[in-house]
Chains A and B, each alone.
Chain A
């Protein structure tokens, strides 16, 4: 049987593949512990140190290497990601809820929404900037023009996640509530929402991380004040130093922290759902 020999070969291949995915990151992580401020962004490591991490937080004596301009940009990016997360999730839940019933034009609306994640950011950014400059006549800001393009991008993700959740969802529970005379709004709050909560959480995670990391859409649409990815991109054109590697390690840790919080909340909500199901079985 050929697959007997194929399987071990592919297992080794997958190991190499994962190394290919993570290799650059491991190297970046190692080099972030380069000695400073003389040590450059390459091997060999002159001496292991945490200099560049201290440099990042402004804890080192001033040197010729300017600190990364991340302070205010970080605050802006967090605010923008939060605004995007709330808007995209609300729009996504509403649209997916509407898709539970058949209606005319469902196909067109579906493609219109999904288009938002398919159109390259450089195009939405350019178009939105043109509209703002020449038709509406407003200045571009991260909390206006950049914000709307971020929602265009993340709303489809939230919508698709919610659609997947609602497809598996038993509508008879809601109908029972309606037939007992509970108002639609109250039914949504008391019955539907707790059941779809894991989906909402996933939609929020998608929207937040995608917006926080979004670069091409923001490049044209954010105007004067930079978000975090723009500040990072700005440092690419000049000589790079290991401080940007240290920063990369920090943002990765932040992403993992976010994933952990998501995992914990997800676990809690699944356990709560199980508990409720058990109580119902008993009674």
Chain B
């Protein structure tokens, strides 16, 4: 501890503080993803894989209707859930982040939205079953109100139930960032625009919405990353009718087809990379936050 100037000493200190975390991420995050890419080119035998390189699994993926279909299903569900979380979440965020004058009320509402996040994810998924089922709460209420004669069966174990479930679970991740950005808007700008005679619609499209855009992008990234990697909600609420890329990975690993699981994993990784990079092009987050 005697040699070296104070500044190099502090540099090595910074290095030592960072080293464990960086090594952990390289060993247990970067290396595993590299491994998925590598194994996607391995040879699959009935119950094992060996490291002879081949394109077989890739060819299998693109020649199978079921697998390519899962890719399209994933893209479709992702777009629908993303749109719904935005449409449903934005008005709520607008109220919580901007329209509520009292800071306390705004905080309470935000906490109310976040509390479900602390409860078990699987229980939240499961909670939709007694809601949506043929004898579920929604059907019973609709029948009591006389709106329908016979129960709607398509509510559960369909693509619709997966969309409803995912929207409810992930909408919070859209509301949070948008409300945060709206809360930071300087109220004087809005007052000034109002004094100059701008109506609410004009104020919203010219001031409020552009200023909240970084929140929308962060929310969209959160929702996209989670929905694209999903398999539990689709498995539990669709009765295995809806197969996402994540579901394919799970079934392939279940039957020890590690090479095919890896191919799907690589496709999922590429998809995520494109989506996240695309969103980051809309807004430069480094300048905004």
Q: Which residues of A contact B (CB under 8 A)?
A: 1-3, 6-7, 10-11, 13-14, 17-18, 20-25, 27-28, 31, 41-43, 91-92, 94-95, 97-98, 101, 103, 109, 112-113, 115-116, 118-124, 126-131, 133-135, 148-149, 151-152, 155, 159, 184, 209, 213, 215-216, 219-220, 229, 232-233, 236, 240, 244-245, 247-248, 251-252, 255-256, 258-259
Instruction: Using known A-B contacts A11-B95, A122-B229, determine if residue A151 contacts B35 with beta carbons closer than 8 Å.
Output: no
Are B11 and A21 in contact, CB atoms less than 8 angstroms apart? Answer: no
Q: How far is the CA of A283 from the CA of B221 in the complex (A)?
A: 51
Residue among B24, B27, B51, B236 having the largest count of chain A Cβ atoms under 10 Å: B24
> What chain B residues lie within 8 Å of A11 (beta carbons)?
95
Instruction: Using known A-B contacts A131-B35, A255-B119, determine if residue A23 contacts B232 with beta carbons closer than 8 Å.
Output: no
Determine if B43 is an interface residue (Cβ-Cβ < 8 Å).
Answer: no
> What chain B residues lie within 8 Å of A101 (beta carbons)?
10, 14
| Nearest Cβ on chain B to A121's Cβ, whole angstroms | 7
A-B contact count (CB 8 A): 238
> What chain A residues lie within 8 Å of B28 (beta carbons)?
124, 128, 148-149, 151-152
Q: 13 new A-B pairs (CB below 8 Å) besides A116-B25, A248-B126?
A: A2-B200, A10-B94, A13-B92, A17-B88, A91-B20, A103-B14, A118-B225, A120-B225, A123-B33, A124-B32, A135-B35, A148-B24, A232-B122
> What chain B residues lie within 8 Å of A149 (beta carbons)?
28
Instruction: Using known A-B contacts A6-B99, A21-B172, A103-B14, determine if residue A28 contacts B126 with beta carbons closer than 8 Å.
Output: yes
| Nearest Cβ on chain B to A244's Cβ, whole angstroms | 7
> What chain B residues lie within 8 Å of A24 (beta carbons)?
124, 127-128, 130-131, 168
Q: How far is the CA of A170 from the CA of B29 in the complex (A)?
A: 34
Q: How far is the CA of A135 from the CA of B13 in the complex (A)?
A: 33
| Nearest Cβ on chain A to B106's Cβ, whole angstroms | 11
Of the A-B pairs whose beta carbons lie under 8 Å apart in the complex, a sample of 17, sorted by A's number, is A2-B200, A13-B95, A17-B92, A21-B116, A21-B168, A21-B171, A24-B127, A25-B124, A95-B22, A120-B230, A126-B249, A127-B32, A130-B262, A149-B28, A216-B229, A216-B232, A220-B253
